Amino acid sequence: MKKDKPRVAIQGIKASFHEQAAFEYFGENIETVECDSFKQTFVALERDEADYLVMAIENSIAGSILPNYSLLLGYNFPVVGEVYLPIQLHLMALPGVKFEQIKNVTSHPMAIRQCGDFLDEFPHLKIVESSDTAACAKRIQDEQLTDTVAIANALAAKTYGLDIIERRIESNKKNYTRFLILTTHENVTKQTPNKASLCFQVSNQVGALAKVLNIFADLGVNMSKIQSMPVLGKRHEYNFYVDVEWEDNKQYDAAIKQVLKYTHNFNILGEYVRYEDESEKAPEVKPEKPVRKYISVKKLNK
């Protein structure tokens, strides 16, 4: 029986940045499955309590969220998409509350750090850390707190009936977070990918990693991300997580075949369509020649 709405597991509650990322990817006609941790989102997918999960993987200021790479490899669910979400943080309170009434500011520790310049101007305010930005907004509404403001996104203000009293208080206005979309192998749909997330190991020899990276460069495959993580319990051994992008799938196909010769424990974590920000796209120009048809690449997971 076909489901009316996709069930999407997120870390956090409704109106969190994870739900905002889910809306960006799927649209708002989804059923949000709230989870207390990133691991629980994978468990929900594993138990068929969700059809997809949305997981933050890196932030332009804070960097990679390292434990989430281990979840990617450990559960082996395919990555089917990505979203880059601008992180815009606002100060919000119950309707009618004036700034002069505020004594406490509550939010996730990362959001608080990202608003340090603004908060430094008001040293009398008590900072209260919490596990989730949206949960802070919800608490203000639930407990009708008139002396407390939350730092969260506009979706949280709308969802929990709060007024935004100061907009865009984040210190870096170009801050964004990248989210990955994962699903079960049964839910993977056919698409024409131009990006892939890979994981592999190389021998502990001089130039071993450089040899692999040069293959991508020589064949015109762009490496947009590389992250290393130690292999648990093994000295001098690392998993390398690499994101690559391409224009012609033949380049990617050829690169994978060559890379396999110089790596071990090679996994394709997912092949998907690279996220494009509609606001940054150039005006569409119709191609003079037909677009090359994509030839699917066989999965090479070991």
Convert the pLDDT of each residue in 21-80 to its tens digit.
999 999 999 999 999 999 999 999 999 999 999 999 999 888 899 999 999 999 999 999
Question: What percent of the chain clears pLDDT 70, i.e. is strictly above it?
Answer: 91
CATH code given to domain 195-280: 3.30.70.260
Give the pLDDT band of residue 297 (cuts 50, 70, 90). very low
Please compute the mean of the pLDDT values over residues 82-106 and round it to a whole number: 96
Contacts of 21 (CB under 8 A, 6+ apart): 54, 56, 83, 85, 177, 179
Q: What average pLDDT is seen over the chain?
A: 90
Task: Please give the Cα distance from 231 to 282 (Å, whole number).
Answer: 42
Domain with CATH 3.30.70.260 in the chain: 195-280
Give the pLDDT band of residue 227 (cuts 50, 70, 90). very high
Q: State whether residue 204 is helix, strand or coil.
A: coil
From the list 229, 169, 158, 238, the residue with the least C-alpha distance to 205 is 238
Contacts of 84 (CB under 8 A, 6+ apart): 176, 177, 178, 179, 275, 277
Task: Please give the Cα distance from 274 to 84 (Å, whole number).
Answer: 10
182 CB-side CA count, 13 A: 29
For 90-166, give the CATH class: alpha beta
More confident: 98 or 295: 98
Contact call for residues 41 and 35 (beta carbons, < 8 A): yes
**Is CATH 3.20.20.70 what the domain over 7-86+175-187 is classified as, yes or no?**
no
The whole-number pLDDT of residue 288 equals: 43
The whole-number pLDDT of residue 144 equals: 98
Q: What is the pTM of this model?
A: 0.86
Give the pLDDT band of residue 204 (cuts 50, 70, 90). confident
Contacts of 93 (CB under 8 A, 6+ apart): 102, 140, 146, 148, 149, 150, 162, 163, 165
The whole-number pLDDT of residue 279 equals: 56
| pLDDT above 60 for 293 | no
The whole-number pLDDT of residue 189 equals: 87
| pLDDT above 50 for 245 | yes
Domain with CATH 3.40.190.10 in the chain: 7-86+175-187, 90-166
Contacts of 233 (CB under 8 A, 6+ apart): none
Residue whose entry in the numeric block shows the structure tokens 């090479």: 300
Contact call for residues 15 and 135 (beta carbons, < 8 A): no
pLDDT tens string 101-126 = 999 999 999 899 999 999 999 999 99
Give the pLDDT band of residue 294 (cuts 50, 70, 90). very low
The whole-number pLDDT of residue 278 equals: 64
Tell me the two tokens of residue 286.
């119709």
| pLDDT above 90 for 272 | yes
| pLDDT above 60 for 13 | yes
Residue whose entry in the numeric block shows the structure tokens 């509550």: 106
The whole-number pLDDT of residue 89 equals: 97
Give the pLDDT band of residue 151 (cuts 50, 70, 90). very high
The whole-number pLDDT of residue 256 equals: 97
Query: What's the N-to-C CA distance of the chain in angstroms?
Result: 33
Contact call for residues 265 and 200 (beta carbons, < 8 A): yes
Contact call for residues 140 and 150 (beta carbons, < 8 A): yes
